[in-house]
Amino acid sequence: MPFDPANRPLTANEARVLATLMEKARTVPDSYPMSLNGLVTGCNQKTSRDPVMNLSEAEAQEALDSLRQQTLAFETSGNRTTRWEHNFQRGVGVPEQSAVLLGLLMLRGPQTAGELRINAERWYRFADISSVEAFLDELQERSAEKGGPLVVLLPRAPGAREQRWAHLLCGPVDTTAPTVSAATGGGAPSALQARVAALEAQVAGLQATVERLCAELGMAPPTAPMSPPGQE
């Protein structure tokens, strides 16, 4: 049976770990599957995250173990380092486009269809906003046999031009309290945010390279995650 958030919703930590695996699989494939060290770095990014979190390795490992039990992630070995992959599409039973939208909602919080299309650029290129809305509508109208709705359209926030969508993977959300996504600042990502996100992707790639080299040389990888400039 597909994953049913009404029966067993994800915790906030599980959602962050799962969505980070989904993101890095598409944006930095050289560092995927991910080590625990690299995964923690991705989970705790200061950009493209709402809310910003500070997971420890123990918390991330606990989330991974739970996701594995739910068949949403699985462990793989490579170069003496345990690595992790997500199994979101098959575990939840949704197409690629829907998985992208749900991953973004887990990482960045509520967003409009337009914001989702912009933020999905490095994950998947939607033809237009209408195609984004079509997949969101499908997720909202998902039948009980398939696990029920996975997104909800929130009331329009004061001063906002459009309504935002939220995911239901962590259970029901309060639709009576409209919120503005801090990750997007209520609009398209700024040039600075895009630059920082690109730097973080480069750091993730470098970290993966260091881990592979350490494994080839029989050395233990660094225990402290590498940090982008300005985040030491």
pLDDT 10s digits, 73-113: 999 976 678 999 999 999 999 999 999 999 999 999 999 99
What CATH number is attached to the domain comprising 127? 1.10.10.10
What are the residues whose beta carbons fall under 8 Å from the beta carbon of 164, sequence distance 6 or more? 110, 111, 112, 115, 153, 154, 157, 178, 179, 180, 181
Distance of CA 162 to the CA centre of its chain: 23
Q: What are phi and psi of 146, to 5 degrees?
A: -95, 0
Residue 182 binned pLDDT confidence (cut-offs 50, 70, 90): very low
Is residue 178 assigned to a domain?
no
- State the pLDDT at residue 177: 64
In a domain, 2, yes or no: no
Residue 72 shares a structural domain with residue 34: yes
184 domain residue, yes or no: no
Give the total number of structural domains in the chain. Answer: 2
Q: Is the residue at 180 inside a domain? A: no
**Are residues 55 and 24 located together in one domain of the fold?**
yes
Q: Are residues 100 and 85 located together in one domain of the fold?
A: no
* Residues 85 and 196 reside in one and the same domain: yes
Same-domain status, 109 and 132: yes
Where would I find the H helices in the chain?
A: 12-27, 36-43, 57-69, 88, 96-108, 113-119, 129-140, 191-217
pLDDT of res. 186? 44
Over residues 113-168, the pLDDT tens digits come to 999 999 999 999 999 999 999 999 999 999 988 889 999 999 998 888 999 999 99
Nearest Cα neighbor of 232 from 76, 46, 81 is: 46
Whether 157 is covered by a domain: the verdict is yes
Is residue 224 pLDDT above 90, yes or no? no
- Are residues 161 and 102 part of one domain? yes
How big, in percent rounded to 5, are the helix, strand and coil portions of the chain?
A: 45, 10, 45
Domain stops at, among 130, 151, 167:
167
Q: How far apart are CA 163 and CA 143, in angstroms?
A: 23
Q: Is residue 203 part of a domain?
A: yes
pLDDT (0 to 100) of residue 45: 96
- Pair (101, 124) in one structural domain: yes
Structural domain of residue 150, as residue ranges?
A: 96-167
Same domain, residue pair 83 and 196: yes
- 33 and 100 both lie in a single domain: no
Lowest mean pLDDT among 38-52, 89-103, 111-125, 210-224: 210-224
